């Protein structure tokens, strides 16, 4: 009996160890860091009450990260703004976003730089007396402590200004114990040294369950509102998921009275937190950083499918598949690919843009726009495809078999549908799908949206050749 007891004990210990190991967090498994509410919120009522809608349609625009990394300059940014105003605004693009480290004189995403951020001990920053980030003078010489001048430049062109920040409070503010504006508290009263970003050594977490924590977030968003900022992307919120600081940021934005889009980053945002994020933010990353590789693009299909199930029922909330790395990228960004034209083939770029469009992800380009070729510009400005993103509804994956995936969304016109058929296989496929499998009625006229060409009547099947890693995108409507 003792012999068998020993075996049972080993099995029991092994099972417990397996359960424990499987429960441990890892980079690929989203985690919820906490479910606290900010100081003064005695219940979860705010988290069950939707934030006002700042973006009625998926936001469209441009972001500096995938090409300029942590080092975009004032002159470079203005050139991108000018390009958006001249060539993209008429297609619906309106947000122009300065990504990370606009406040740091030294930090670099360039792996060749001695200030490359994973190896740079701590990230420097320019701050005001209340521990709030200010534009670095060497990057933005016209700033003089404010981005108001850039917001004015952007607004005069009919566009909207966005900035990126790190969750939390700068380490310099903590070491110098700077005061929190309008309170008797200081940085050391609210900074949580046990909750720092894993990949970017710039800030401590803010413990918003303590008095002064909410007030610090109020103070920074009051500053951004005074500058005229329209969009704020907040990093290190979703992986792990910081419910308390997300709520605090939402409260701070609403307190300003300014309409600002609140974007969380990076993902994956946990599906278990779906109602919390959809009540508190406008757009939210559903994957980790996305770059120009086919394996990553294939993974986005599952993220898009999972989130569409929930987001279609919540107006003004946009699951974010991340930015569009097309055209010229990687000049100073932090990925391993180096400076390049996108590695996606043309067919893969059609697939990329179509998935983002039909799933109603925000359409945020991230490249050097001034080096766009004709193909890239046409890819980004097909108004019939953009309408799928901006005017579609009830988007969903409806077919998935043998590497062929189909999405359908309502097109607005009575009975009209957008239908995208993707070929994830490595060879061209002849697709032949019954309309019944797509939940479509028979006898529909079809228009190819990428070719911008009417192709006539489809009786009861969708029949088409689809290139390897490619897509076809149709608008189908009643044949009159």
CA distance 60 to 51: 20
CA distance 364 to 367: 10
Contacting residues for 160 by C-beta, under 8 A, at least 6 apart: 61, 94, 95, 96, 154, 230, 231
For 330-352, b/e burial (b = at least 16 CB within 10 A) is: bbbbbbeeeeeebebeebbbbbb
CATH class held by domain 397-478: mainly beta
Reported as a single tens digit per residue, the pLDDT across 30-88 is: 567 667 789 888 899 999 999 999 999 999 999 999 999 988 999 999 999 999 999 99
103, 133 contact by CB (below 8 A):
yes
CATH architecture of 32-391: Alpha-Beta Barrel (3.20)
Average pLDDT over residues 222-236: 98
Banded model confidence at residue 254, pLDDT cuts 50, 70, 90: very high
Is residue 253 predicted with pLDDT exceeding 80? yes
Average pLDDT over residues 6-31: 40
Is residue 2 predicted with pLDDT exceeding 50? no
Average pLDDT over residues 99-106: 92
**pLDDT confidence of residue 1:** 45
Q: What is the chain's alpha carbon radius of gyration, rounded to the nearest angstrom?
A: 24
Cis peptide before 268 (omega within 30 of 0): yes
Residue extent(s) of CATH 3.20.20.70 domains in the chain: 32-391
- How do strand 95-98 and strand 461-466 relate by DSSP bridges? unpaired
CA distance 159 to 153: 9
Question: Residue 153: which of 90, 73, 78, 258 has the closest Cα?
Answer: 78
Residue extent(s) of CATH 2.60.40.1180 domains in the chain: 397-478
Reported as a single tens digit per residue, the pLDDT across 295-327 is: 999 999 999 999 999 999 999 999 999 999 999
Is residue 3 predicted with pLDDT exceeding 80? no
Strand extents, DSSP E, 213-304 = 231-235, 241-242, 261-264, 283-285
- The percentage of residues in the chain with a pLDDT greater than 70, rounded to a whole number, is 90
């Amino acid at each position: 009996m003792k012999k068998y007891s020993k075996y049972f004990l080993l099995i029991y210990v092994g099972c417990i160890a397996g359960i424990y190991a499987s429960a441990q967090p890892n980079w690929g498994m989203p985690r919820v860091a906490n479910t606290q509410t900010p100081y003064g919120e005695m219940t979860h009522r705010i988290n069950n009450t939707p934030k006002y809608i700042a973006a009625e349609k998926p936001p469209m625009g441009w972001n500096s990260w995938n090409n300029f990394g942590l080092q975009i300059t004032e002159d470079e940014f203005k050139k991108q703004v000018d390009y958006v105003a001249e060539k993209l605004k008429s297609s619906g693009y309106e947000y122009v976003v300065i990504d990370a480290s606009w406040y740091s004189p030294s930090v670099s995403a360039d792996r060749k730089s001695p200030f490359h951020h994973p190896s740079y001990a701590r990230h420097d920053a320019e701050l005001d007396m209340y521990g709030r980030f200010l534009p670095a003078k060497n990057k933005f010489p016209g700033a003089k402590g404010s981005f108001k001048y850039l917001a004015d430049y952007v607004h005069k062109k009919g566009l909207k200004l966005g900035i990126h920040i790190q969750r939390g409070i700068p380490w310099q503010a903590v070491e110098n114990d700077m005061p929190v504006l309008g309170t008797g508290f200081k940085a050391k009263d609210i900074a949580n040294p046990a909750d720092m970003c894993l990949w970017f050594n710039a800030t401590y977490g803010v413990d918003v369950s303590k008095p002064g924590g909410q007030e610090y977030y109020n103070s920074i968003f009051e500053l951004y509102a005074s500058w005229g900022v329209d969009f704020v992307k907040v990093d290190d919120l979703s992986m792990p998921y910081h419910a308390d600081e997300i709520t605090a940021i939402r409260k701070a934005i609403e307190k300003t009275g300014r309409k600002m889009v609140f974007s969380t980053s990076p993902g994956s945002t946990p599906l278990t937190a779906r109602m919390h994020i959809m009540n508190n933010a406008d757009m939210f990353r559903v994957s980790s950083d996305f770059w120009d590789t086919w394996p990553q693009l294939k993974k986005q299909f599952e993220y898009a499918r999972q989130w569409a199930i929930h987001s279609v029922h919540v107006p003004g909330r946009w699951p974010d598949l991340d930015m569009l790395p097309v055209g010229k990228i990687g000049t100073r960004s932090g990925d391993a690919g180096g400076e390049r034209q996108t590695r996606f083939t043309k067919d893969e770029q059609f697939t990329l843009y179509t998935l983002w469009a039909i799933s109603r992800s925000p359409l945020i380009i991230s490249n050097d726009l001034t080096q766009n070729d004709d193909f890239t510009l046409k890819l980004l400005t097909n108004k019939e495809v953009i309408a799928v993103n901006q005017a579609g509804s009830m988007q969903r994956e409806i077919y998935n078999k043998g590497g062929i995936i189909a999405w359908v969304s309502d097109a607005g016109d009575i009975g009209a549908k957008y239908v995208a058929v993707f070929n994830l296989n490595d060879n061209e496929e002849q697709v032949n799908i019954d309309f019944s499998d797509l939940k479509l009625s028979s006898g529909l006229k079809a228009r190819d949206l990428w070719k911008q060409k009417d192709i006539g009547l489809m009786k009861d099947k969708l029949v088409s050749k689809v290139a390897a890693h490619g897509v076809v995108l149709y608008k189908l409507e009643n044949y009159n």
